Structure 1
Amino acid sequence: MRRLLARTLIPIATLAGAAAAFALPAEGEGSGRAAALPPSSAIPAPQARESLLAKVVVIGVPGLTWNDVEASPELTALVDQSHVGSITVKTAGPHTCPVDGWLTLSAGTRAWGSVADQPCGELPAVAGGKVQDWQTYVDRQAEHHTGAPLGRLAESREKVCGFGPGAAIATAKTDGTVTNWQPTFDPAKLSTCGDAIVDAGAMPLREGREEARKKVADLVAQARAADGWVLLAGISQATANAHQEPLVALQLPPDNGPRWLTSDSTRRPGLIQLTDLTATILRGEGKPIDPAGEAEPGPLDGNEIGFGGDLHTDAAAVIEDRLDANQRFEQPRPILVAVSMTILAAELIALAWFWFTRSKRSRSVFSFALLTQGGFFIAVFLSTATVWWRWPSPGLSLYAVVLAISAAFAAGAKLLLGRSAYVGIALAAYLILLVDGVLGTPLQFGSMFTDGPVIGGRFYGFGNSTFATLAVAALVVAGVVAQKLIDRSRVQAALAVLAIGGAAIVVDGKPGWGTDFGGIIALTPAVLLMAWLTWRGGITLRALIGIGVAGVLAVSAVAFLDYLRPEDQRSHFGAFVARLLDGDVADVLIRKLEMAVAFFSGPAGWAMLVGVVLAMLATVLPDRVPSAAYREFYRSRTMVRPTLLALSTCGLVGMLLNDAGVALPAIMTGFAAPLLVAHLVAAPRPATVSPESHLVQEH
């Protein structure tokens, strides 16, 4: 037993679980750009504007925060006169410098303007009616495979005026030329514009910030004199190393009284994306321009901005709500690291105690520490229900809440189920995530596993970390139930696997619920394989190929049916099919491959790969695992082999076909391995159990 714990499963459970949890990149939760989510009963669709206004004036302010609004009486006074919200300004590159934000406005999709690992530079000047170094930015999109069609805004909308250096970038045509542009704001010119973009200048980091706030408020007042819709928005972070947070978004005048800004790209009241600004100026229909100026398909990333939610008439309460929301979106990622390291330290200390004493108490403590790691995969979601971001010291509150929930589930499962505590934790995770998915994923938003508003990833549905948790829970629960039925009927047991796994696939993949394209690609073949092994006991090459084909056909059918829906109601499935049919999928696939490979730029990625490979080898070569307890467990229950093989299949397919790469099976291992080891450790000695014994059995 000790050799098993020391050499294989413990390093896998602790290292893979902790490293994958906080090493998974932001985009891994979203797996790309946000797609329109069809209306559902759980997430109401945003209301459109009452009428299509003749003019939209966007005032962009790099670095404008809700703290600025709170500190400025002039900006505070605008809150009750506006639809309000926060705007996420993640662009294609690692930083959102001002140039990145303005280029994204120009393209209507996330663009890459700044140079990685360098400070934000000055905005390019305009000389001879053209933005200097424009071709450099065009080439940068091709270099990084962003697919951002620079110049789309100017080519798609006549008489879009620009004021200020950043507006020159946003309103430049595909060749970098600018028309209807002024170096400074001139309110008299607004009457001659169809729409307008105003660069209010980046907020100073220290001195001069108060004056900058007054300037912004003055610009809003002048822009309101022209008939139309004024959008005040943070357009980017002020510096490359700025603390990432959703910035300010205000829209004046409000339709139907002041409410919360939203769009179909986020489906979250009070939150929009930078690309929504372009979609709003273009009324949702941008001319399909590629970076070379050729007319080719290229959908907008964003959606027209609307409004939703209740009326608000208390500026102080609105500002407090937005500051609380920033805490909700900013704290999860750093606290995830802290919680992971705390649990890892507890496991190592408990392991050392057990290693040297092998006492009954140390065995129990070590098992509890492992189960706490399992409970962590539930706590990351349930913690959202506590509204911790409104508590004193939000970061510390989140840390305490997650650890408390993790320990509570570990203690409850151990008390009620003894050695089979893993069943209770897996069942709880399975049911919680199914219910959350059907309700529109309220527990995901802003959780440790889905911090989309900060990093521009998922704003709804299941991300990679959530899917990994659901996949492990579903397959383990399916194995437990099938073991209960298999002595009675293999057919009934196989049907139970299909029912339990199928429910997870439906909730994970259904648009408006999990909306997870990559997840069902990985989980479908795993469930089919597990059902087949449950029914027949073994598998032939022909059956294996058939399972693979069936999985591909099932996923393809779902994606094609979603594609047949109206364009503004498609999810990631239909959007991918549209890109595929239009021949516009190459950049998407290259970006996803680059994200998957990026994990191996440091030691954490290689450590995860080692842990994942060891875990997978243990499922297919049990006799080579140096633990009599594990070997006996593997042979003692009929459903152990199908369950472990299904877990490995899901992880392997997910690793090969998902932008999360090795992180996805690492997270699965971080959830499954501690539960398995806790089950093995809880027995004083390897038990001899007949092959017909149930998977759930007290010792």
Structure 2
Amino acid sequence: MLAVVCAVLAVPPAAAAAEEDEVAGIIVLGVPGLAWTDVDESVTPNLWAMAGSGASASMSVRTIGSWTCPEAGWLSLGAGERAGGAAPRDAQCAAQSQLPAPVEDGDGWSAGGWDALIEANESFNYGARLGSLADAMTAMAAEEEAAALEAEAAGEPVVEPDPGACVAGIGDGAALAAADTEGRISFWAPGLASLGEAMAACDVVIVDPGVVVGDTADEAPDTSTDYDQLGEDDTGVGSDEPSGELDTGEIAPEPDSVRTRAAAEADAAVGEVEAALPEDWRLLVAGVADASAPSALHPVLYSGAGVEPGELTSATTGRDGYVQLVDVTATALGAVGAEVPATVAGAPIQVLPDAGRTSEAAVAQGIDETAASQSVIAVSFVFYSVLSGLGVIAVAAAVWLLCGSDRYRGLARTVCLAVAAMPVAGVAAGIPHWWRGEHPSLAFWVIVAAGMAVLTVAASLPWTRRGARPVLVIAGAAALLIAVDQVSGATWPLHTPMGYTAQAGARFTGLGNYAFSVFAAAVILLIAFVPWKGRARVWGPIAIGVCAVVIVGAPNLGRDMGGTLTLVAAVILCCWKLWGRKLTVKAVILAGGIAFGVFAIGGFLDYLRPQEDQTHLGRFVGSVLDGTATNILIRKAGAAIGTIGRPLTWLSLAALIGAIIIWRKRAPIRSSEVAAAVIGLSAVAVLGAVVNDSGVAVTGFTTALGFGLLAVAVGPRTERAQPATRDPVSTAPSSGN
């Protein structure tokens, strides 16, 4: 099993696109607040033309917290890692939009307040090394100079070092991105009048046109709430929606003139840069930050030498049409042939050519992706709260079903099934495009309610309601749905609260912690309650377990390193108990050792692949080897602890209380199937909460699916008095395993 799983975990995902040729230089023009809705044929003609003539994508600018202000965005661009600003982060980004101009001394320019920025980022535990972009260009210059000296000493032809191996900045924000680790800037100018001089000096030019595209204060969606969530897998609370449309009768409200003027001003800067762009250079325009809370996806437009029309993607997202802010840093370095250092978390953006792509199609796609992401945030907190509340009721129903009188037992059973179906329906809600409706939130809840009803009825039919069949119906539907989604591209949970919103920048593909919890609980229930016969009782659970681990951990599927560790241990313990073995400390240590072995070997094999192809698992192994893993572990532990007190905490607490009541009122478990399910679900709930940064949310989702279904499988006291029929061959593992 170990060899098979490790081999599959090492299979590389298919390459998204071929490596791009190097160019003479690249200009990165950042416009904080720029949204896809700002790209208009009449208001922003240059941006509109770029959307059709070049390649584009939607970009997550998530850095420190659930929205990113300009200061943090520019610093993250220079670091290639999530960085935060030193100024206070208010909901309107007022403080972090007031960027200080660089300071000039006798030797050149330095970024203002650099020491304060370094100090602020040391406390965030993201390991951001401010100035990595500029330092990488300096390192390239040093390597070229060393190579030239070596060639000269050997009497070989000398290739002159590139004199432009540096980063130039134009504008105050660009100074933060162009500064090196000491805060020094190779070239800086306040405006675009010096663009030609900047391109002559450096191969990478960062431009801040001095524009923040945002709403006026009275139209902005939030002016007080701080949605700061440091966990990578948080989608942010973000339940506040923009202020409603004014009831003006037949008179259409005027567009926000402030935002329109800002977008037009940014577009004029793009046109000026395009007019000066040499044929062997590239231009990348990006909305590098939010203008205010809440966050949103922002456009990235890429054009110039060798860039064909189409979509953009990157190895960090693994999804067509999506990139991250840190990918822009790696793209700038890769375009000019510089090596991307380990301190840069992003990967070079790749172009997926599409000759038929038009400006209309690109903008429409970007608007739709943004709407989907924001609609998910609008329903997420309510979804988690409703699931937690109904889950507490389901725990009470499970206690009544197992320990109460015959009265209302049928109702209790139905409640257990319906609540267990809710997270499954939540995943399925991503199949239809519910966010495109006139009332997206209502459409989402209608789909969830319908999914719950269908599964509950399916598990209550005359031929499915007996014994453990209801468990197999709902758990089977959950496992099959998530497995099909992973094999087909992991699209559905992305647009529901069961996944991660794209703007959160945590995981664009693969298996998120919430969906993993549901999938793992379903797998455990299937292993425990499928009516295995003969030797199938041994090989059946092993087959399901191996397939499940591959789905969770394979680099081209789930990519979930914490889930891999959790599921391997949980499956082993579940099978151990199912086969009638005694659960001892030695058995627990053995299961943990095998799980860690799969995790370590799979991670090392992933680490051996090219950096641009590595998943979270391989990059984590790299952080262990270079000594930066401590920051990651501290950050994830903080995120896990931060989940305590959120809605799913109360469901987890209710499950603990319910389990104690059931244990005190019912005799000890005698069925190996039930014991295996209890052990496996407990392992997922506890170990998953410890090793994943979603913390108690893992326990909550595991409980939501597993607690009620387990109660239905056990049945009332009168049903439990009849021992389960066991096949004599089921004892085979004790002698042959």
TM-score normalised over the length of structure 2: 0.79
In the TM superposition, residue 257 of structure 1 has moved relative to its aligned partner by 4.0
Helix, strand or coil: the match of 1:272?
A: strand
Aligned residue type for 2:446: A
C-alpha contact (below 8 Å) 1:651/1:668 kept by paired residues: yes
C-alpha contact (below 8 Å) 1:339/1:402 kept by paired residues: no
Question: What is the aligned partner in structure 2 of residue 691 from structure 1?
Answer: 723
Aligned residue type for 1:214: A
In the TM superposition, residue 114 of structure 1 has moved relative to its aligned partner by 4.8
Indicate whether 1:672 and 2:672 are aligned.
no
C-alpha contact (below 8 Å) 2:689/2:697 kept by paired residues: yes
In the TM superposition, residue 308 of structure 1 has moved relative to its aligned partner by 1.4
Deviations 1:167-202 (A, max 9, x none): 011111212122310112223324413121111221
C-alpha contact (below 8 Å) 1:338/1:399 kept by paired residues: no
Question: What is the aligned partner in structure 2 of residue 215 from structure 1?
Answer: 265
Structure 1 residues 606, 411: CA separation in 2 closer, same or farther (over 3 Å shift)? closer
Distance in 1 of aligned mates of 2:538 and 2:395: 38
C-alpha contact (below 8 Å) 1:533/1:539 kept by paired residues: yes
Deviations 1:199-249 (A, max 9, x none): 12211423432222222222212212222111111010012xx23211111
In the TM superposition, residue 512 of structure 1 has moved relative to its aligned partner by 0.8
Question: What is the aligned partner in structure 2 of residue 232 from structure 1?
Answer: 285
Question: What is the aligned partner in structure 2 of residue 25 from structure 1?
Answer: none
- Partner residue of 1:141 out of 95, 118, 121: 121
C-alpha contact (below 8 Å) 2:308/2:354 kept by paired residues: no
Which structure 2 residue ranges, 5 or more long, are not aligned? 1-8, 138-164, 217-256, 728-737
Distance in 1 of aligned mates of 2:595 and 2:628: 24
Deviates more, 1:70-79 or 1:584-593: 70-79
In the TM superposition, residue 497 of structure 1 has moved relative to its aligned partner by 2.0
In the TM superposition, residue 430 of structure 1 has moved relative to its aligned partner by 1.3
Distance in 2 of aligned mates of 1:393 and 1:350: 29
Equivalent residue runs for 1:452-601 within 5 Å: 452-481=501-530, 483-485=531-533, 488=534, 492-600=536-644
Indicate whether 1:68 and 2:38 are aligned.
yes
- How many percent of aligned residue pairs carry the same amino acid? 29
Helix, strand or coil: the match of 1:264?
A: coil
Distance in 2 of aligned mates of 1:53 and 1:162: 19
Helix, strand or coil: the match of 2:557?
A: coil
- Partner residue of 2:675 out of 641, 644, 661: 641
C-alpha contact (below 8 Å) 1:89/1:246 kept by paired residues: yes
Equivalent residue runs for 1:379-390 within 5 Å: 379-390=425-436
Distance in 2 of aligned mates of 1:390 and 1:557: 44
Report the aligned-residue RMSD: 3.1
Deviations 1:112-133 (A, max 9, x none): 2155664531213322322222
Helix, strand or coil: the match of 2:431?
A: helix
Question: What is the aligned partner in structure 2 of residue 654 from structure 1?
Answer: 688
Indicate whether 1:96 and 2:59 are aligned.
no
Deviates more, 1:158-167 or 1:381-390: 381-390
Indicate whether 1:428 and 2:477 are aligned.
yes
C-alpha contact (below 8 Å) 1:426/1:476 kept by paired residues: yes
Specify which structure has the bigger relative contact order, considering alpha-carbon pairs within 8 angstroms and separated by 6 or more residues.
1
Question: What is the aligned partner in structure 2 of residue 167 from structure 1?
Answer: 174
Aligned residue type for 1:484: W
C-alpha contact (below 8 Å) 2:472/2:529 kept by paired residues: yes
Which structure 1 residue ranges, 5 or more long, are not aligned? 1-35, 289-296
Indicate whether 1:45 and 2:16 are aligned.
yes
Helix, strand or coil: the match of 1:501?
A: helix
Question: What is the aligned partner in structure 2 of residue 293 from structure 1?
Answer: none
Deviations 1:658-683 (A, max 9, x none): 222222122111211132345567x6
Structure 1 residues 103, 329: CA separation in 2 closer, same or farther (over 3 Å shift)? same
C-alpha contact (below 8 Å) 1:381/1:447 kept by paired residues: yes
In the TM superposition, residue 395 of structure 1 has moved relative to its aligned partner by 3.0
Aligned residue type for 1:104: S
Question: What is the aligned partner in structure 2 of residue 189 from structure 1?
Answer: 197
Indicate whether 1:180 and 2:187 are aligned.
yes
Question: What is the aligned partner in structure 1 of residue 111 from structure 2?
Answer: 131
In the TM superposition, residue 693 of structure 1 has moved relative to its aligned partner by 3.9
Helix, strand or coil: the match of 1:236?
A: coil
Deviations 1:375-399 (A, max 9, x none): 2222222222222233443332222
Distance in 2 of aligned mates of 1:209 and 1:655: 43
Question: What is the aligned partner in structure 1 of residue 500 from structure 2?
Answer: 451
In the TM superposition, residue 286 of structure 1 has moved relative to its aligned partner by 6.5
Distance in 1 of aligned mates of 2:190 and 2:408: 72
Question: What is the aligned partner in structure 2 of residue 18 from structure 1?
Answer: none
Distance in 1 of aligned mates of 2:387 and 2:415: 7
Helix, strand or coil: the match of 1:102?
A: helix
Question: What is the aligned partner in structure 2 of residue 277 from structure 1?
Answer: 328
Structure 1 residues 623, 617: CA separation in 2 closer, same or farther (over 3 Å shift)? closer
Question: What is the aligned partner in structure 1 of residue 58 from structure 2?
Answer: 86
Deviates more, 1:346-355 or 1:462-471: 346-355
Question: What is the aligned partner in structure 1 of residue 363 from structure 2?
Answer: 319
Distance in 2 of aligned mates of 1:542 and 1:68: 62
Distance in 2 of aligned mates of 1:244 and 1:137: 22
In the TM superposition, residue 410 of structure 1 has moved relative to its aligned partner by 1.5
Indicate whether 1:393 and 2:457 are aligned.
no
Question: What is the aligned partner in structure 1 of residue 24 from structure 2?
Answer: 54
In the TM superposition, residue 300 of structure 1 has moved relative to its aligned partner by 1.7
- Partner residue of 2:299 out of 224, 245, 248: 248
Deviates more, 1:58-67 or 1:266-275: 266-275
C-alpha contact (below 8 Å) 2:171/2:208 kept by paired residues: yes
Aligned residue type for 2:65: G
In the TM superposition, residue 465 of structure 1 has moved relative to its aligned partner by 0.6
Distance in 1 of aligned mates of 2:62 and 2:622: 24
Aligned residue type for 2:110: K
In the TM superposition, residue 53 of structure 1 has moved relative to its aligned partner by 1.7
